[in-house]
């Protein structure tokens, strides 16, 4: 297990203050957060590139924060790959092996095995400048994995890639993790990526880990407005709770499953809101009539915003939007279940 | 008709560029044709001239090596670390560029003259600096070292720190990373800085004559011949120095500009 205990570090305006993180052995942990929140610094601290001013880092019970980076056996992959431009793919992958007492024959074999696992055997003689983004990232991964690191740190490994390459590399990361079982910490600001890959996720804000846990749980039950909005919940409201009813204004109330009292925030995921032309007769207790104010085509899905006294946003398929003949000004009903309401 | 339009600013650039090119090249060409080739050939056989050129080149080379050894590690810190009074330190590095060279010579003289405590210390230790090759190297290093430090600093800044970070995590120590990654990526620009340093050192005159009129470096010989005998005797030595410096400059430039495949970041 990797454990960061009460880590404090300040770098200019940025600060990690009593930061704690636990990642289990063999786990794929995705650390989410907006830019400038300290995710990369956290990874660099784990790698030994920064020394904490206070606190300790443990790996499997042994303290490692006093070890230099080269003694930690940690693989690091940056978003911009950081391949050595004057070395070929082959030489890049072999680079870490030259620092270990390994027979040249074994070096060659390990390099080939890793290149094969990442499907870049045909690129071994090329220089990084002659590689595509995806190929560069595979090379960087191979270089980080060739020595079987104890921990693999990935700093936004997919964000510089085009969508189709990103998807295939995402699959690749999943496959590699299932083969190697390396404890992995992956930084991202894309919650879809986190959902697809993570065993557990953590959300960071201003140098603090504000929520962590099972991805689906965190996704469904964000513990703060920030997390809710960062994970794509665009329906966040504040109101006064009285049992299972939250009053948002004098004539707008939302029913919830949870019983609470006092000032609360609620979040509803846009995909949980159903749009219909007529009132729905189903069991959903939250149903509001309104007028469509915006329709945004997001490719496979349409983002529909409607003014129902409160602004509600829903995600529906393009087919549904066309069938309902939705246009700006259309009168609609926005309906969601009590179970879809997350009370913060 | 599909005619390419030329922006008027580029026309201005072209005109000023032509003026600059002429300004740089014409005096050199004019010098080359000032005397007969035979005179130049005879001057080549002049022992005093040859010795002074050897001395100039030798001292400039030693200067470059000294500046390299002292300057590169310092430039690395300046490129990588932020510390208190860093801009003051960087300004101090640049001081030799802004002070007139005879003044630089005078300043150095106050340190090595037997009247100073450092001079006395050296005298006691039996180290003679004034009027020796050491004094020439000292003057040349003082005025030319900033060029190397600044070039090396920029070269190191250009190497992404992330590349060094990755190298560390892959098992290389800080020193190994410096030589294998940082220096491998920066050496061409450092070499360019060394060329500048060498060129600046070989052209130094003002500071050198204060510390060492003898042994004579090539510029001192040219100056002496010019003041004692006039242009006819000064120009052939100047021509030889120009030719040798240009050859050196071209060779080193070619070496610094040939990038291997895949060497861009």
Q: Which segment of A6-15, B15-24, B112-121 scores lowest on mean pLDDT?
A: A6-15
pLDDT at residue B121 in the model:
93
| Cβ separation A144–B170 shorter than 8 A | yes
pLDDT at residue B263 in the model:
55
More confident residue, A115 or B249: A115
Domain spans of chain B, in order of start? 44-257
pLDDT at residue A315 in the model:
92
Share of chain A above pLDDT 70, in %: 99
Cα distances from A274 to residues A267, A291, A330, A338, in angstroms, run: 15, 14, 15, 13
What is the chain B residue with the closest CA to A151?
A: B169
Q: What integer is the mean pLDDT of A202-216?
A: 92
pLDDT at residue A156 in the model:
93
What residues of chain B, 168 to 207, have a C-beta less than 8 Å from chain A? 168-174, 176, 181, 184-185
Query: Which of B169, B261, B262 lies closest to A69 in CB terms?
Result: B169
Q: Which segment of A284-288, B76-80, B87-91, B139-143 scores lowest on mean pLDDT?
A: A284-288
Q: Answer whether residue B35 shows pLDDT above 90.
A: no
Give CATH for domain B44-257.
1.10.3720.10
pLDDT at residue A318 in the model:
86
At the second CATH level, the architecture of A2-229 is: 3-Layer(aba) Sandwich (3.40)
pLDDT at residue B7 in the model:
84
Share of chain B above pLDDT 90, in %: 80
Distance CA B166, CA A154 (A): 12
- Mean pLDDT over the full length of chain A: 92
pLDDT at residue B255 in the model:
82
pLDDT at residue A236 in the model:
92
| Cβ separation B264–A44 shorter than 8 A | no
Q: What integer is the mean pLDDT of B102-112?
A: 95
Distance CA A151, CA A121 (A): 24
What is the chain B residue with the closest CA to A100?
A: B171
Comma-separated ranges of CATH 2.40.50.100 domains in chain A: 233-343
What is the chain A residue with the closest CA to B259?
A: A86
| Cβ separation B169–A129 shorter than 8 A | no
Q: Which segment of A113-127, A139-153, A277-291, B28-42 scores lowest on mean pLDDT?
A: A277-291
Q: Answer whether residue B262 shows pLDDT above 60.
A: no
In this structure, are strands A208-213 and A14-23 parallel, antiparallel, or unpaired?
unpaired
Model confidence over A128-140: pLDDT tens digits? 999 999 999 999 9
**Tokens read off for A268:** 């509803």
Class level of CATH domain A233-343 = mainly beta
pLDDT at residue A267 in the model:
93
Q: Is B171 exposed, middle or buried (0-12, 13-18, 19+ CB in 10 A)?
A: buried
pLDDT at residue A77 in the model:
95
Share of chain B above pLDDT 70, in %: 96
Partner residues linked to A267 by β-bridges: A236, A342
Q: What integer is the mean pLDDT of A64-70?
A: 94
Q: Which segment of A208-217, A282-291, B34-43, B120-129 scores lowest on mean pLDDT?
A: A282-291
B265 touches chain A (CB under 8 A): yes
What is the chain A residue with the closest CA to B168?
A: A70
Work out the minimum CA distance from A228 to partner chain B, whole angstroms: 32
| Cβ separation B169–A99 shorter than 8 A | no
Model confidence over A160-180: pLDDT tens digits? 889 888 999 999 999 999 999
| Cβ separation B170–A99 shorter than 8 A | yes
pLDDT at residue A181 in the model:
94
Confidence category of residue B88, pLDDT binned at 50, 70, 90: very high
Q: What integer is the mean pLDDT of B10-23?
A: 96
For residue A78, which residues of chain B lie inside 8 Å, CB to CB?
162, 165-166
Contact A263/A270 with Cβ under 8 angstroms? Answer: no
Helices (H) and strands (E) in chain B, counts: 13, 0
Work out the minimum CA distance from B182 to partner chain A, whole angstroms: 10
| Cβ separation B173–A129 shorter than 8 A | no
Q: What integer is the mean pLDDT of A233-259?
A: 90
| Cβ separation A82–B185 shorter than 8 A | no
Q: Answer whether residue B78 shows pLDDT above 90.
A: yes
Distance CA B132, CA B217 (A): 11
**Tokens read off for A299:** 């490719």
Instruction: Detail the DSSP E strand segments found in A159-300.
Output: 183-188, 200-205, 208-213, 235-249, 252-268, 274-276, 286-297
Q: What integer is the mean pLDDT of B147-175?
A: 95
H or E element in which residue B120 lies: helix B117-124
Q: What integer is the mean pLDDT of B175-194?
A: 93
Q: Answer whether residue A118 shows pLDDT above 80.
A: yes
- Mean pLDDT over the full length of chain B: 92
| Cβ separation B171–A88 shorter than 8 A | no
pLDDT at residue B172 in the model:
94
For residue B163, which residues of chain A lie inside 8 Å, CB to CB?
82, 84
The single-letter DSSP state of residue A72 is S
């Amino acid at each position: 297990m990797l454990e960061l205990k009460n880590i404090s570090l300040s770098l200019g305006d940025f600060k990690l203050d009593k930061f704690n993180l636990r990642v289990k052995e063999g786990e794929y942990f995705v650390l989410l957060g907006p830019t400038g929140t300290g995710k990369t610094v956290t990874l660099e601290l784990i790698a030994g590139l920064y020394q904490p001013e206070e606190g300790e880092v443990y790996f499997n019970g042994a303290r490692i924060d006093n070890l230099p980076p080269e003694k930690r056996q940690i693989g690091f992959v940056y978003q911009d790959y950081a391949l050595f431009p004057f070395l070929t793919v082959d030489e890049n992958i072999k680079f870490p092996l030259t620092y270990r007492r390994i027979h040249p024959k074994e070096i060659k074999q390990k390099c080939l095995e890793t290149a094969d696992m990442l499907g870049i055997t045909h690129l071994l003689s090329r220089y990084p400048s002659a590689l595509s983004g995806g190929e560069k990232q595979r090379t960087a991964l191979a270089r980080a994995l060739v020595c079987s690191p104890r921990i693999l740190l990935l700093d936004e490994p997919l964000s510089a890639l085009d969508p189709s390459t990103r998807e295939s590399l995402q699959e690749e990361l999943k496959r590699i993790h299932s083969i190697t079982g390396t404890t992995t910490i992956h930084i991202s600001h894309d919650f879809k990526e986190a959902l697809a890959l993570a065993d557990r996720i953590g959300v960071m804000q201003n140098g603090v880990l504000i929520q962590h846990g099972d991805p689906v749980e965190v996704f469904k039950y964000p513990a703060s407005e920030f997390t809710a909005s960062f994970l794509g919940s665009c329906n966040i409201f504040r109101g006064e709770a009285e049992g299972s009813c939250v009053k948002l204004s004098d004539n707008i109330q939302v029913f919830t499953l949870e019983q609470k009292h006092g000032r609360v925030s609620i979040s509803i995921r846009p995909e949980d809101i159903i749009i219909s032309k007529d009132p729905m007769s189903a069991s959903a207790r939250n149903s509001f009539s309104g007028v469509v104010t915006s329709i945004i085509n997001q490719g496979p899905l349409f983002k529909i915003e409607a003014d129902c006294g409160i602004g509600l946003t829903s995600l529906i398929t393009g087919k549904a939007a066309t069938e309902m003949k939705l246009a700006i000004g259309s009168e609609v009903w926005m309906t969601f279940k009590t179970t879809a309401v997350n009370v913060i | 008709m599909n005619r390419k339009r030329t922006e008027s600013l580029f026309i201005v650039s072209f005109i000023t560029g032509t003026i600059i090119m002429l300004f740089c090249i014409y005096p050199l060409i004019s010098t080359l044709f000032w005397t007969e080739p035979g005179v130049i050939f005879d001057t080549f056989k002049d022992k005093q001239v040859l010795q002074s050129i050897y001395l100039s080149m030798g001292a400039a080379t030693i200067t470059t090596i000294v500046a390299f050894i002292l300057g590169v590690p310092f430039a690395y810190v300046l490129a990588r670390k932020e510390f208190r009074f860093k801009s003051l330190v960087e300004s101090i590095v640049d001081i030799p560029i802004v002070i007139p060279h005879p003044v630089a010579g005078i300043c150095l003289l106050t340190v090595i003259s037997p009247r100073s405590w450092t001079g006395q210390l050296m005298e006691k230790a039996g180290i003679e600096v004034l009027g020796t090759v050491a004094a020439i190297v000292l003057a040349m290093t003082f005025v030319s070292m900033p060029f190397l430090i600044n070039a090396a600093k920029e070269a190191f800044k250009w190497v992404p720190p992330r590349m060094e970070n990755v190298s560390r995590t892959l098992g290389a120590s800080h020193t190994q990373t410096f030589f294998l990654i940082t220096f491998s990526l920066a050496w061409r620009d450092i070499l360019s800085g060394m060329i500048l340093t060498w060129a600046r050192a070989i052209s130094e005159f003002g500071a050198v004559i204060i510390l060492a009129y003898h042994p004579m470096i090539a510029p001192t010989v040219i100056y002496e011949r010019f003041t004692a005998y006039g242009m006819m005797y000064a120009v052939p030595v100047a021509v030889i120095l120009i030719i040798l410096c240009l050859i050196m400059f071209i060779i080193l430039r070619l070496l610094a500009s040939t990038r291997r495949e895949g060497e861009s970041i």
